Structure formats: structure tokens, C-alpha cells
Amino acid sequence: MAQLILNPGKERSLFRRHPWIFAGSVDRLDGRARPGDTVTVVTAEGKALARAAWSPESQIRARVWSFDAEAAIDHAFFKRAVAASIARRAAIPALHGQEGVRLIHGESDGLPGVIADRYGDVVVLQLTSAGADKWREAIVAGLVQATGCAVIYERSDSEVRGLEGLAPRTGCVHGELPAGGLTIVENGVCMEVDVEGGHKTGFYLDQRDNRLLTGQLAAGRDVLNCFCYTGGFSLQALAGGAKSVLSIDSSGPALESARRNLALNPQLDASRADWHEADVFKALRNLKDEGQRFDLIVLDPPKFAPSAAHADRAARAYKDINLFGFRLLNPGGILMTYSCSGGIGQELFQKIVAGAATDAGVDARIIYRLSAAPDHPIGLAVPEGEYLKGLACQVG
């Protein structure tokens, strides 16, 4: 087996159980390894530390499978790791009865580059690293064995695969998708899941608990949902008794899906819902100019900063939307604001939101810190900035 030799002092992150080895930490590769092959990670002094997947095309040259330098990385290893990930979710009471659950969350489950989401009897698999791609068959076999699901559909089409030298790959790897489409019930609301063409794996499971909280806060309120996508926050607000819900997104197809989702829920009062196709930044300015006000506003934008290099520009964008959000709130109103940008950490995001409140001239207090659902754990040493973060702020 090839050995990945680290530069002096670059083993410290491994001692903290960080699973990424960057190009600048690597002295050399002793031996031959193809993309995705397992290598032994060795200090400059010759001490073996871990087994990792080699990825010569990526700035993350290797991702650790095991911090046991003697571990066998084989089919049995992946079947055990998949089964352990699924067992962790089975032990979480909040996930009992949920039809949509993240089964594997990459590094947080010791499986870098592996995402698996379950929607009823369908598992959607996303492989984003060279190592994960190499062990596709073992991971699929582990999922079939541990879940008993009828279908596993691969959605390995994210842009990050290109950084690993991998081409996109999609399609069924086990079974066939149901002909009539796929829906799930989330906290009493029925939603479409487009596993073939929807964002990510077809649905944003990490916002499940925050959508439920929105419904709990919405009773009797006029609600504005920006970047609404397929309407998850909007429908939960209606289910919670919102007086009205205005939902805005720039995607016509996403809004059509949102309208279909509303139609799937005849228990909800459709007359209270209004869907508006527009650029959200422009729409917020127009609403301000029109003198409109709301009691609850949701801001759940796409990723403005995929890396730290984009943080400055993204910070301005987050500042703008939160500034208008605060200005559109009635006294006592609540702003629920989110970021999924890896380049914006929790501390910076809070500073941006606080600055927006100050510039808007409002007295705001954080009433909830909003994070990912319990099936989206954050790894011990994986940067928190890589994951969903949010705040619910109430103005005086």
C-alpha cells in the first residue's frame, strides 16, 4: 500500500481527528496509487497515523477513512460504517416516524464524500469524493442490506465532483423509481420529492425542524417567505394558522412545484397563499417602497459563499437581505434567517445580522439559534461553517 508522507508538523490536525489532508500538508506519495485508492498516512518521522482515500486532483489530497493505521478498508468496512450510520438515526426519538431522513452525512459519519437520504422506500445516494466513488458498490450493498429499501437512486451530479476529477453520474443503482412520482409527509404536510432533478438529493431535509418551528410561530401572522423554493416553510406556516403567506422565488418551476405541494394538502387554506416569481433582492426593495409589513419573515437563500474566498461579497449580500427583512417587520415581528455558505461561519453570520438590525434602526433580540435537523450531525473536527446556520430574531 502506498504511503502518504506529511510535511513536518502537519499531523496536528489528524490528532484532532480532522479527516481532511490538504495539498500543502503533503510532502510526497511513496508508491503508486490511483484516485480513490487507500493510502497509509505517515508523519515526517515515519509514524503511521491513518488510512485515507487518495485524491490527486483535489486540494484535499486525502480524506481519512479510519484513524487506525492498521484498519482494513474493504467491503466489510463500508457495510459496517453504513449500518452504524443508520443505527445512529434509529436511536434518535425525534426521527421516529419521519418519512424523510438523512442516513449518512459524510465526514460526520466517518464516510467522507458520502451522502444518503431516505424518502420513504427510496434512498438517494450522492458520492462527491474519489474515495467514495471507488467504493460505490460496497456502499450501495451496505444501504440495501441495512435499509431494505426498494430503490437506491444515485445523484452524484454536484459541481464538487469536478474538483475530484470525477464526471457526473445519475440513475438507479438498485431497483426502479415509482412511476407516479415520490411524496413524503413531513410533520403533517405532504411534499413532492424530485430525486431526479431537484436540488441536492431532491429535498432540504436539514430544515425539517426549522420548518416545524415556523409553523409553530405563524399563528395569526402575515408571513413572508423569501427564496421559498418548493414551499416547505410556506406550507408549514399555513398549517400553523398563518393569516397570510407571501412566497417569493426566482424559479418558475420551483413555484409550480410549490403550488402542486399546496394542492397535495387540501386541509390547508389555499386562499391565504400567494406565490410571486421575482428576484428576491428587487422584490424586497419593492415591498419596502410599497409600505408593506409582515409579522414573520423567512430568509433562506442559496449558498452565497461556497468558500472563504467569496466571504466578503457574500457578507454584503447577506447584509442586504437581512437589512430589508428587518425593515419589513412589524413591531414584535420575527425574522428567521439562514446561511448554508461554507465561507460564512456562525460568528460572522451573527455579526452580519446584528449589523443589519443596527442599520435598519431596530432593537432586535435572538430568540432561537437555528441549526440543522438531528440527522445532520456536525463532525467533531469538521468546520461548522460547512453546515446550516441560522437565527430567529424578534424586533421590539
Distance set, CA 203 to CA 143, 225, 366 (Å)? 19, 17, 27
Q: Is 329 exposed, middle or buried (0-12, 13-18, 19+ CB in 10 A)?
A: buried
Residue 228 is among the residues annotated as catalytic for this protein: no
Alpha carbon 104 to chain centroid, angstroms: 12
Total residues belonging to the chain: 396
In whole angstroms, what is the distance from residue 137 CA to residue 54 CA?
A: 18
Catalytic residue among 190, 228, 340, 393: 340
In whole angstroms, what is the distance from residue 329 CA to residue 395 CA?
A: 8
Q: Are 206 and 376 in contact (CB under 8 A)?
A: yes
Q: Are 95 and 19 in contact (CB under 8 A)?
A: no
Alpha carbon 141 to chain centroid, angstroms: 24
What is the edge-to-edge ordering of all strands in the sheet holding 122-127? 100-105, 114-119, 122-127, 151-156, 169-174
Looking up cell 426549522 gives: 210
Quick count: other Cβ atoms within 10 Å of Cβ 279?
12
In the chain, DSSP assigns E strands to: 3-6, 20-22, 26-30, 38-42, 48-54, 60-66, 100-105, 114-119, 122-127, 151-156, 169-174, 183-186, 189-192, 222-226, 244-249, 273-277, 294-299, 329-339, 364-371, 389-395
In whole angstroms, what is the distance from residue 232 CA to residue 228 CA?
A: 7
Residue whose C-alpha is closest to residue 391's, from 356, 365, 373: 365
Residue whose C-alpha is closest to residue 326's, from 395, 374, 262, 272: 395
Task: Give the phi and the psi of residue 113 in degrees, each rounded to 5.
Answer: 85, 10
Q: What is the DSSP string of 107-140?
A: GGGT-TTEEEEEETTEEEEEE-SHHHHHTHHHHH
- Which residues form the catalytic set? 340
